[in-house]
Structure 1
Amino acid sequence: MSGPKVVRIVTAEELLALREAMLHRLDQAVARWQAQCERIGERDASAVAAVMARRQALQALVADSDNTRYARLIEAEIAFLQADTRDREARAVDRAAAGRQQQRRQRDNAAAVLKTLQDRPVDAEAGLLQALRALADGHPGADAEAVLARAFALLSPPEEQATLSEDQRALATALQTSAPTPTLADWVAGQPADPGREARLLRVDRYIAELQVLQGPAVAAPYLEALHHAEQETAPQRRNLLLDSLVLELAAASAAFAQRRVQLERLQDVASRLAALDPVDHAPLLAQVGACSTDTALPLLTALAQQCDTALASHQQALAAVSRRQAVLDGLASLGYEVREGMATAWQDSGAVVLKKAATPGYGVEVGGQADGVRLQVRAVALAADRDRSRDRDIETLWCGEFGRLQALLHGQGTELVVERALGVGEVPLKEAIATATPSGQVQVSHARSGPA
C-alpha cells in the first residue's frame, strides 16, 4: 500500500524516557524500603547490598534495553521490595504483639499473686508489695519476672529442713512423695482461665501492635484507652461485647491505613517524576503533596494523584511531540527533502507541513496531524495544479520506497514508525498543495484538494 498513510511514531527519546521513569519509580520504592526497614528495626546490611546491586544492574540496562522486558524487570523488583517490606513489618508486629501478651500475663499474674498474699497472713516487705502493685496496674519494670518470683516464694511452704537433724532430714527425704514442688509456672497454669477473653485479647494485641509499629504510639493511644475500659468491665458478657467492638474498630482502622498508604506511595511516585521534569510551574501542587502523609484523607490523596497524573502527562506529551516532529523531519532531511529552520514550529502551529525535494520538482511530501498525539498522516502531494498528471502514480510509488527507507532509518535510531492504515497507489487522487513561499523560505499551503486519507 503506497498511498496516503496513517502512522504511529514512538521516538527513541520517548522510549528512553519511559525506561528512566521506570527506574525513577524503582528508586522511590528502594528509598521507602530502606526507610521502613530502618524505622521498624529490620535493617539488614546484606539485603541492602543485594538490592543496590540489582538496582545498579537495572540502571545499566536503561540505555539499550527493550521496554517491555525492562518493565517486567522493574515491576518484579518493586513487587519484591513491597513483599519484603510487608514480611519485615509482620515480624516487627509479631515481636510487638508478643511483648504486649507477655506484659498482660505478668500483669494478670501479679494481680493474682497480690490477691493471694493479701488473703494470707504473709509478712512481705513494703518494696516488694509496691513493685507487685505497679506490675498489676500495668507498669512493668525491667525486673518483672524477678518480682513475681520473689512474691511467689512467699506463698511456698516454709523451709523446715534447717531445724532438723541430719538423720531427720534423711528420713524426711526417704518418706517424701513423688509429687514435685509447685513452681511459679505451675501456679500460673492453675489459675482460672477465660478462653473467650484470651482469644479476643490476642486479636486486639495484634492490631494494636500493628498500629504502634506502622503508625506510631499516638495513633494507638485511643484504642489502648478503649482496651483498658473494656478490661475494667467485670461482667464477662459485657466485657466480651466491648472487646468484639474494639476488634471491629481496629480492623477498620488497619484496612483504611493500608488503602491510604498504597495511594500515598502512588502519589509520591508520580509527584517525584513531575518534580524532576518541571518543579517550578507545579510548585504549589508539589508543596501540597509534600505535606501529605498516611494520615491524609484518602479522597485528597486520590485527587492530588489525579492532578499530578494530568500535569505529568501534559508535560510528557509536549516533550514527546517535539521529539516526534524532529525525528520525522531529520529523517526526511536525510532522504534529500528540504528541511528549513522553523519548519517544526510551522508544523506545530498549522498541524501540517510540506517538504520539497530537488530531485522531484513540482512534488513534495506532506506530514500532518497534531504531533502531540502518536499518530501522524504522511502522503505525497503535488505542488502545482498545472502539471503532468501522468507522473502522479510514479511519484506515489517513489514515495513508497522512500517511506520504507525512512522507517528503516528511524528504526536504526531506536524510533518506531508503524503503519496503521494505508491506501493503495492511485486509490485516491494525489492531493494538491498549492503553495507559496514565505519570507523564511517555508512552503505554506494555501489551498489543498484531495480524496480521503
Structure 2
Amino acid sequence: MSGPKVVRIVTREEILAICEAHLQRLATAFERWQTQAGRIGELSEADRAAAVARHARLCALLQQDQLRELQKAVPIEIDFLERDLEEREERAIIRATQKRQQQRRVHENAATLLKALQAKPGLATRELQQEISELAQGASREDADALLAKGFALLATAPGQETLGAGQHALAQQLKSDAPAPSLADWINSQPLDSSRDVRLLRIDRHIAELQLLQGVQAAEPFVLRLEKAEAESRPQTHNLLLDSLVLDLAHATRLYQQQRAHFNQLQDLASEVAAFQDTAHQSLLEQVAGCEANQDLQQLSGLIEQCKAAISTHLQAQAAIARRQAVLQGLASLGYETREGMETAWAQAGRVVLRKTATPGFGVEVGGKADTGRLQVRAVAMSHDRDKTRDRDIETIWCGEFQRLQALLKSQGDELIIEQALEVGQVELKVVATGEQEAIEAARTTQRTLG
C-alpha cells in the first residue's frame, strides 16, 4: 500500500525521556525508602547495600542502551521498594504496640502490688512504695522490672491473708522457691488483660503507636491524653463511651494520614520530574510543592498533583513533537528532499509542510498532522494541476520505496515509524498543492526567520 498513509512515530529521544523519568521516580522512591526505613530502625547495612546495588544496575541499563528492559524493570523495583517499606513500617508499629502493651501490664501490676503492700504496713520501705506508686500512675522507668520483682518477693515472704491474684501469687511462689526466677517482662507479657477491654485497648495502642512512629509524638499527644482520661474514669458507662469514641477517632486519624501521605509522596515524585526540566515557568508550582507537608489538606495536595501532571504532560509532548518533526525532516533530507531553515517551525504553525525533490520536479511529499500526538499523515503530492497525470502512479510507487527506506533509516537511529492506515496506489487522486498554498508555507518560513 503506497498511497496516502497515517503513521505513528516514536523517536529515540521520546523513549530516552520516558526512561529518564523512570529513573527520576526510582531515585525519589529509593531516597524515601532509605530515609524512612532508617528513621524507624528497620534498615540494616546489608539491606541498604543490596538496594544501592540494584539501583546502580538499573541506572546502568540507560548507558547500556537497554531501554526496553529499563522501562520494564524500574517500575517493578519502585513497587518493591514501596511494599518493602510498608512491611518495615508494620514491623516497627507492631514493636511499638507491644511496648505500649507491656507498659500497660507493668502499670496494672504495679497498682495491684501497691494495694497489696499498703495492706501490710511496714513490709516495704516508703521509698519502694513511692516508686511503685509512680509506676502505677503511668511512669516509665528502666528499672520497672526490678522494682516489681522486689515488691513481689517481699509479698512472697509475708504471712497473712491472700491479697494477690492467682497470677501474681504464682510469680511470688516462683520467686520464693529455689528455682530460677522467671523473667518478669515475660511473665507480665503472658498475663491477660480483662477480656472486655483487651481488644479495644490493643486497637487504641496500635493506632497511637502508628501515629507516633509515622507522624511524631506531637500528633499522637491529644489521643494519649484522652486515653489517660478514659482510664482514670471510674464510672463504667462513661469509661466505655470514652474508649469507644477514642477508637473511632484514632481510626479516622490514621486513615486520613495514610491518605495524606500517599498523596504527598505522589506529589513529591511528580515535582521531582518537573524540577528536572529546569524550566522557570514551573518555579511557582515548585515553590507551592516545597511548602507542603505530609499532613496537608487532601484537596490542596490533589490540586497540586494535577498541576504537576499537566506540566509534565505538556513538557513531554512539546519535546516529543520537536523530536518527531526533526526525525522525519532529517530522514527525508537524507533521501534527497529539500529542507530549509524554519521548515520545522512552519510545520508546527501550519500543521503541515511540503518537501520537493530535485529528481522528481513538479512533485513532492506532504507531511502533516500534529506531531505532539505522534500521528502523522504522509503522502506524495503534485505541485500543479497542469502536469502529466500518467506519472502520478509512478510517483506514488517511487514514494513507496522511499517510505520503506525512511522507515529503515529511522529504525537504525532508534526511532519507529509505524503504519496505522494506508491506501493502495492510485486509490485516490494525487493531491495537488496549489501555488498559493506553497507561497503561504514559504511566507511562514520567511516570517519565522525574520522574527528569529
Q: TM-score, normalised to structure 1's length?
A: 0.88
Match of residue 59 from structure 1: 59
Match of residue 143 from structure 1: 143
Pair 1:214 & 2:214 matched: yes
CA deviations over 1:140-168 (Å, ceiling 9, x no partner): 22211111122223323359xxxxxxxxx
- Choose between structure 1 and 2: higher helix proportion: 2
In 1, Cα distance between equivalents of 2:209 and 2:16: 44
In 1, Cα distance between equivalents of 2:414 and 2:193: 73
Q: Which moved more, 1:387-396 or 1:197-206?
A: 197-206
Aligned residue type for 2:317: Q
Q: In 1, are the aligned partners of 2:114 and 2:133 still within 8 Å (CA)?
A: yes
In 2, Cα distance between equivalents of 1:342 and 1:395: 27
Q: In 2, are the aligned partners of 1:436 and 1:443 still within 8 Å (CA)?
A: no
Relative to structure 1, the CA distance from residue 209 to residue 187 in structure 2 (aligned partners, 3 Å threshold; closer, same or farther) is: closer
Q: CA deviation at 1:64?
A: 5.4
Pair 1:392 & 2:392 matched: yes
Q: CA deviation at 1:372?
A: 2.0
In 2, Cα distance between equivalents of 1:329 and 1:414: 16
Secondary structure in structure 1 of the residue aligned to 2:434: strand
In 2, Cα distance between equivalents of 1:373 and 1:396: 26
Match of residue 48 from structure 1: 48
1:1-80 matches, within 5 Å, as: 1-63=1-63, 69-80=69-80
Q: Which moved more, 1:76-85 or 1:126-135?
A: 126-135
Secondary structure in structure 2 of the residue aligned to 1:428: coil
Secondary structure in structure 1 of the residue aligned to 2:379: strand
Identical pairs, percent: 52
Match of residue 112 from structure 2: 112
Relative to structure 1, the CA distance from residue 301 to residue 190 in structure 2 (aligned partners, 3 Å threshold; closer, same or farther) is: closer
Relative to structure 1, the CA distance from residue 355 to residue 329 in structure 2 (aligned partners, 3 Å threshold; closer, same or farther) is: same
Relative to structure 1, the CA distance from residue 193 to residue 385 in structure 2 (aligned partners, 3 Å threshold; closer, same or farther) is: closer
Q: CA deviation at 1:233?
A: 2.1
Q: CA deviation at 1:66?
A: 5.9
Q: CA deviation at 1:189?
A: 10
Q: In 2, are the aligned partners of 1:10 and 1:416 still within 8 Å (CA)?
A: yes
Q: CA deviation at 1:393?
A: 0.9
Aligned residue type for 1:61: L
Match of residue 341 from structure 1: 341
Q: In 1, are the aligned partners of 2:61 and 2:69 still within 8 Å (CA)?
A: no
In 1, Cα distance between equivalents of 2:189 and 2:128: 23
Match of residue 286 from structure 2: 286
Match of residue 199 from structure 2: 199
Relative to structure 1, the CA distance from residue 288 to residue 443 in structure 2 (aligned partners, 3 Å threshold; closer, same or farther) is: closer
Relative to structure 1, the CA distance from residue 200 to residue 52 in structure 2 (aligned partners, 3 Å threshold; closer, same or farther) is: same
Q: CA deviation at 1:229?
A: 1.5
Match of residue 362 from structure 2: 362
In 1, Cα distance between equivalents of 2:38 and 2:193: 39
Match of residue 89 from structure 1: 89
Q: Which moved more, 1:122-131 or 1:327-336?
A: 122-131
Relative to structure 1, the CA distance from residue 247 to residue 77 in structure 2 (aligned partners, 3 Å threshold; closer, same or farther) is: same
Q: In 1, are the aligned partners of 2:4 and 2:379 still within 8 Å (CA)?
A: yes
CA deviations over 1:41-88 (Å, ceiling 9, x no partner): 122111111111111111111245565543331121111111111111
1:155-174 matches, within 5 Å, as: 155-158=155-158
RMSD of the alignment, in Å? 2.6
CA deviations over 1:18-44 (Å, ceiling 9, x no partner): 011111111110000011012111221
Match of residue 431 from structure 2: 431
In 2, Cα distance between equivalents of 1:63 and 1:189: 55
Q: In 2, are the aligned partners of 1:382 and 1:431 still within 8 Å (CA)?
A: yes
**Residues paired across the two proteins, number:** 426
Q: In 2, are the aligned partners of 1:340 and 1:441 still within 8 Å (CA)?
A: no
Q: TM-score, normalised to structure 2's length?
A: 0.88
Pair 1:261 & 2:261 matched: yes
Secondary structure in structure 2 of the residue aligned to 1:154: helix
Q: CA deviation at 1:224?
A: 0.6
In 1, Cα distance between equivalents of 2:270 and 2:231: 46
Q: CA deviation at 1:241?
A: 3.3
Match of residue 331 from structure 1: 331
Q: Which moved more, 1:20-29 or 1:53-62?
A: 53-62
In 1, Cα distance between equivalents of 2:369 and 2:64: 30
Relative to structure 1, the CA distance from residue 236 to residue 192 in structure 2 (aligned partners, 3 Å threshold; closer, same or farther) is: farther
Secondary structure in structure 1 of the residue aligned to 2:42: coil
Secondary structure in structure 1 of the residue aligned to 2:373: coil
Q: In 1, are the aligned partners of 2:7 and 2:378 still within 8 Å (CA)?
A: yes
Q: CA deviation at 1:242?
A: 2.5
Match of residue 311 from structure 2: 311
In 2, Cα distance between equivalents of 1:279 and 1:389: 51
CA deviations over 1:95-132 (Å, ceiling 9, x no partner): 21111111111111111111122222224323222211
Q: In 1, are the aligned partners of 2:353 and 2:441 still within 8 Å (CA)?
A: no
Q: In 1, are the aligned partners of 2:102 and 2:189 still within 8 Å (CA)?
A: no
Secondary structure in structure 2 of the residue aligned to 1:355: strand
Q: CA deviation at 1:426?
A: 1.3
Q: In 2, are the aligned partners of 1:3 and 1:423 still within 8 Å (CA)?
A: yes
Q: In 1, are the aligned partners of 2:357 and 2:364 still within 8 Å (CA)?
A: yes
Structure 1: gaps spanning 5 or more residues = 160-178, 446-453
Secondary structure in structure 2 of the residue aligned to 1:239: helix
Q: In 2, are the aligned partners of 1:353 and 1:443 still within 8 Å (CA)?
A: no
In 2, Cα distance between equivalents of 1:118 and 1:389: 117
Q: Which moved more, 1:434-443 or 1:40-49?
A: 434-443
Q: CA deviation at 1:435?
A: 3.3
Aligned residue type for 1:71: Q
Q: In 2, are the aligned partners of 1:438 and 1:444 still within 8 Å (CA)?
A: no
